[in-house]
């Protein structure tokens, strides 16, 4: 593709556009890299910088990050309130989390950072099978993929009424464990322009898993997506009503009860 043709295509793409006009073949190089190579030092460099920013300015902290499996294929299923969610999700785990991001973001020079950082494109406005092929390839190699249940950002801090079926499809086609994640407070991170810095909390849920289904129906996909999203709602609702300290206290009390139950069972 000529330099002129590339510049014309980039000019035609807007971050706010719901339809990426570039052909599917344009993104082949990004998918190929994600399917065959691990994120390089770019991932760690961005992760360190973004984590410091989140810790200092948004007082970002996590709850139950120890629930994240340290190895093997894994799907993170978070809610989505901000562009910072990618970084917040990966800040509290040693796993290199691979993200499925809208294709409009893949423009120079940012596309170099995304590609080397393990991000792969999803063409908005198209039925993009390549994104799912890439996600499954990463999972087959024992990697970790993040996919937002709601499909798009919520700018008011409220969860969507229903999830998209994509997370259910990926869960069934891969058979990989799912970790539901609630990210609370991130919808207000842009308020720093007004001198406001919200407190952000990331809470990880218990891993859940479904048996692998090669060609799940849409009803099956949606049923699994709803179940995953219900777990996110519970976590998010707890942070909304109890706050960070209250949610953390509830987790600690649950663990004490579990330990007591185990001692009673073995007595």
The string of pLDDT tens digits covering residues 178-187 is 999 999 999 8
Q: Are 180 and 235 in contact (CB under 8 A)?
A: yes
Answer whether residue 9 is part of any domain.
no
Answer whether residue 166 is part of any domain.
yes
At 215 the pLDDT is 94
12 to each of 8, 27, 31, 58, 180, how far by Cα in Å?
A: 6, 16, 22, 35, 36
Answer whether residue 10 is part of any domain.
no
How many whole angstroms separate alpha carbon 53 and alpha carbon 5? 37
Checking if the pLDDT of 12 tops 50, the result is no
Provide the pLDDT confidence category of residue 127 given band limits of 50, 70 and 90: confident
At 6 the pLDDT is 44
At 157 the pLDDT is 83
Q: Are 133 and 31 in contact (CB under 8 A)?
A: yes
Q: Looking at residues 25-54, what average pLDDT do you find?
A: 94
How many whole angstroms separate alpha carbon 68 and alpha carbon 177? 10
Provide the pLDDT confidence category of residue 7 given band limits of 50, 70 and 90: very low
Domains identified in the chain, total number:
1
Name which residue leads in pLDDT, 15 or 172: 172
Angle at 202 between CA 199 and CA 203, to 5 degrees: 130
Answer whether residue 1 is part of any domain.
no
Dihedral pair phi/psi, residue 102, rounded to 5°: -60, 140
Checking if the pLDDT of 14 tops 50, the result is no
Lowest mean pLDDT among 43-52, 77-86, 148-157, 214-223: 148-157
At 3 the pLDDT is 39
Identify the domain containing residue 205 by its residue range.
Answer: 23-266
Checking if the pLDDT of 2 tops 80, the result is no
Answer whether residue 181 is part of any domain.
yes
Work out the mean pLDDT of the chain and round it to a whole number: 89
At 17 the pLDDT is 52
pLDDT in tens, 239-258: 999 999 999 999 999 999 99
Answer whether residue 171 is part of any domain.
yes
Answer whether residue 69 is part of any domain.
yes
How many whole angstroms separate alpha carbon 141 and alpha carbon 116? 17
Answer whether residue 5 is part of any domain.
no
121 to each of 28, 89, 191, 227, how far by Cα in Å?
A: 10, 18, 28, 26
At 185 the pLDDT is 93
Dihedral pair phi/psi, residue 100, rounded to 5°: -95, 110
| 178-184/144-146 β-pairing | unpaired
Please state the pTM of the whole predicted model: 0.88
Q: Mapping DSSP to helix (H, G, I), strand (E, B) and coil, where does residue 83 land?
A: coil
How many whole angstroms separate alpha carbon 172 and alpha carbon 221? 7
């Amino acid at each position: 593709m000529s330099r002129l043709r590339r510049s014309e295509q980039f000019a035609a793409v807007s971050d706010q556009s719901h339809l990426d006009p570039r052909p599917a073949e344009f993104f082949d190089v990004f998918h190929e890299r994600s399917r065959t190579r691990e994120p390089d030092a770019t991932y760690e460099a961005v992760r360190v910088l973004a984590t410091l920013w989140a810790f200092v300015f948004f007082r970002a902290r996590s709850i139950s990050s120890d629930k994240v499996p340290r190895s093997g294929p894994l799907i993170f299923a978070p809610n989505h309130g901000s562009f910072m969610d990618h970084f917040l999700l990966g800040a509290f785990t040693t796993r290199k989390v691979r993200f499925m991001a809208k294709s409009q973001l893949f423009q120079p020079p940012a596309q170099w950072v995304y590609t080397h950082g393990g991000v792969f494109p999803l063409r908005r406005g198209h039925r993009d099978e390549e994104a799912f092929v890439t996600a499954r390839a990463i999972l087959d190699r024992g990697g970790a993929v993040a996919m937002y249940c709601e499909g798009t950002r919520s700018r008011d801090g409220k969860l969507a009424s229903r999830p998209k079926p994509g997370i259910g499809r990926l869960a069934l086609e891969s058979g990989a464990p799912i970790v539901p994640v609630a990210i609370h407070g991130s919808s207000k991170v842009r308020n720093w322009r007004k001198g406001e810095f919200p407190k952000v909390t990331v809470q990880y849920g218990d891993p859940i898993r479904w048996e692998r289904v090669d060609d799940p129906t849409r009803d099956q996909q949606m049923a699994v997506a709803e179940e995953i999203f219900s777990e996110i709602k519970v976590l998010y609702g707890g942070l909304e009503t109890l706050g960070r300290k209250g949610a953390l206290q509830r987790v600690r009390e649950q663990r004490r009860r579990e330990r007591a139950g185990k001692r009673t069972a073995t007595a």
